[in-house]
Amino acid sequence: MNLDFSQIVPSIPFILEGIGATLKFVSVSILLGLILGTIFALCKISNKKWLKWPADAYTSIFRGTPLILQLMIIHYAVPQLFQYDIPVFLSAVLAFGLNSAAYVSEIIRAGIMAVDKGQVEAAEALGVAYRPMMLNIILPQAIKNILPALMNEFISLTKESALVSTIGYLDIMRRAEIVGSQLYRNFEPLLFAGLIYWVMVFILSTIGRWVERRMRHSD
Amino acid sequence: MIKINNLSKSFSDNLVLENITTTIEHGEVVAVIGPSGSGKSTFLRCINLLESPSSGQILLHEMDITKPKINKLEIRKNIGMVFQHFHLFPHMTAFENVMYAPMKVKHQKRGEAEKIAKELLIKVGLTEKMDTYPNRLSGGQKQRVAIARALAMEPEIMLFDEPTSALDPEMVKEVLDVMKDLAKSGMTMVVVTHEMNFAKEVADRIIFMDGGQLIEEGEPISFFDNPQTKRAGDFLAKVL
Ligand SMILES: Nc1ncnc2c1ncn2[C@@H]1O[C@H](COP(=O)(O)OP(=O)(O)OP(=O)(O)O)[C@@H](O)[C@H]1O
Ligand SMILES: [Mg+2]
């Protein structure tokens, strides 16, 4: 076994550029997931069947099938139906954003449901309407349960983002693969890519732990 | 002030309240007593529509509040409720707990809401605890904040669901004293309680419930000394 990192040195900037590509699509996906997830969560806790049912079905489908399958369907299958050439970035954001929305909606729903039912009754008994009750009473308490779990979701999304290399999006992973095949050496570029992912996740985890401490403090 | 006609409530096929009929007069203090599971809480919760009655009417100033198109929030503004487990908002101080609803629901100006909240917290003996969060308050203090919070909406009637049942014995008195003062000031009150001495001393009328039915009602003295029904007699023999 002989490792030789000197050979990948000229390719390092090329791999590093993948960080931007990864971060760009991860952050857009997170944003999409958050917005859709919040909407679905509100549907799930509503007592109207026609809002609850579609949100539950959505979650079940996106959590019950492999992410890579969803990515393939969005990138290859759907465009085939509509004769539309979908850009890789759009496919990546759609697949990860829609998938994340399912998990985020569960996190938010669970966080809200974990707030003592007495809080709702106390607010109702005072004549507080639904919106201010949610915004001023329930969400500030639910956020303690929600934020730490959301951080975990962001971390796993960042790691799983490497899947988009399969549709040719030039993220960290894809670039490491390209360098590997050019040099006929896979170990070094993949190890380097792994290091980058680890550092990103490390930073996110550190933020996550900080958030969690803050949340516990404010009790 | 409140007329209740043939009020019934069932949860799926479990009949919990059966044809309750009674009237609560303005300024009256009514104590509701009865064994566990007899429907006392459900009765109270129907009055402010936390539970929707299955049949019957509740007339508040001659207006039937069980009609489907009634605005529940509007009704509840006028009916204060105090719970067994307080349900204070944990992320707000005692002062903020009391101020919140008047500002959000009645759109009172902050200055006005602050003034009322301060007066109420002084009235329930918590001058020193205004800026304290609920987790730093004792049970008795929490319940007094909860009473002040309900009073801040200036309701016409106050409902209490076993307000002292979750308290350590040494804290029961401070809460009952606040309630006595409130009764003396002429507030209309419906109190579900296991405190028989309080019921005897403060209530104008006792309602005894068992198995979802209103079995007997009457003045405290005659009710406690001379219950008219066997079920009330048996219950009193057990608790007194
Ligand atoms: N939300 C609900 N769903 C189903 N059943 C309920 C519900 N709330 C109350 N019940 C049932 O209704 C009956 C009466 O309950 P309720 O709480 O009114 O009794 P209670 O007299 O207040 O008792 P306690 O003294 O223990 O508080 C009980 O059998 C209870 O199981
Ligand atoms: Mg009860």
Domain containing residue A204: CATH number: 1.10.3720.10
Q: What is the Å distance from ligand 2's center to B161 Cα? A: 7
Euclidean distance between CA atoms A19 and A185, whole angstroms: 21
- Residues 6 or more apart whose Cβ sits within 8 Å of residue B152: B98, B99, B101, B102, B113, B116, B117, B120
**Of the ranges A2-11, A134-143, B66-75, B123-132, which one carries the lowest mean pLDDT score?**
A2-11
CB-based contact B220:B69 (threshold 8 Å): no
**Of the ranges A5-14, A88-97, B170-179, B214-223, which one carries the lowest mean pLDDT score?**
A5-14
Q: Does A141 touch chain B (CB under 8 A)?
A: yes
Task: Provide the token pair at B184.
Answer: 């003396």
pLDDT band at A219 (very low <50, low <70, confident <90, very high): low
List strands edge to edge, sheet with B2-11. B14-24, B2-11, B55-60, B63-64
Q: Once rounded to an integer, what is the mean pLDDT over residues B96-110?
A: 96
The reply to whether A1 falls in a domain is no
The reply to whether A3 falls in a domain is no
How many distinct helices (H) and strands (E) make up chain A? 10, 0
Q: Does B74 touch chain A (CB under 8 A)?
A: yes
Among candidates A116, A121, A127 on the partner chain, residue whose Cβ is nearest the Cβ of B105 = A127
Among candidates A127, A136, A219 on the partner chain, residue whose Cβ is nearest the Cβ of B153 = A127
Q: Once rounded to an integer, what is the mean pLDDT over residues B151-170?
A: 95
ipTM of the complex in this document: 0.94
Is it the case that residue A204 has pLDDT exceeding 80? yes
* Residues of B in Cβ contact (< 8 Å) with A127: 73-74, 76-77, 101, 105, 153
> What kind and span of H or E run contains A60?
helix A49-64
Ligand 1 pocket at CB < 6 A: B 11, 14, 16, 34, 36-42
In angstroms, what separates the C-alpha of A148 from chain B's closest C-alpha?
A: 18
* Percent share of chain B, pLDDT over 90: 98
Euclidean distance between CA atoms A127 and B1, whole angstroms: 20
pLDDT band at A7 (very low <50, low <70, confident <90, very high): confident
Is it the case that residue B240 has pLDDT exceeding 70? yes
The burial of A164, by beta-carbon neighbours within 10 Å (0-12 exposed, 13-18 middle, 19 or more buried), is given as: buried
CB-based contact A218:A144 (threshold 8 Å): yes
Is it the case that residue B46 has pLDDT exceeding 90? yes
Ligand 1 atom with the shortest distance to the CA of B43 = 18
* Percent share of chain A, pLDDT over 90: 80
What is the pLDDT, as a whole number, of residue A2?
76
**Signed CA dihedral, B170, B204, B38, A122: sign only:** negative
Residue B214 has φ and ψ, to the nearest 5°, of -85, 105
The reply to whether A19 falls in a domain is yes
Q: Once rounded to an integer, what is the mean pLDDT over residues A188-195?
A: 93
Kindly state the DSSP code that residue A138 receives in the 8-state scheme: I
What is the pLDDT, as a whole number, of residue A6?
85
Give first-to-last CA distance, chain A, whole Å.
Answer: 54
Give the residue carrying structure tokens 């009929």: B21
The reply to whether A2 falls in a domain is no
User: Domain range for residue A121?
Assistant: 8-217
The reply to whether A67 falls in a domain is yes
Q: What is the pTM of this model?
A: 0.87
**Signed CA dihedral, B87, B93, B98, B103: sign only:** negative
Residue B32 β-bridge partners: B192, B207
Over residues A50-108, the pLDDT tens digits come to: 999 999 999 999 999 999 999 999 999 888 888 888 999 999 999 999 999 999 999 99
- Looking at the structure of chain A, the number of domains it has is 1
Task: Provide the token pair at A138.
Answer: 């329930």
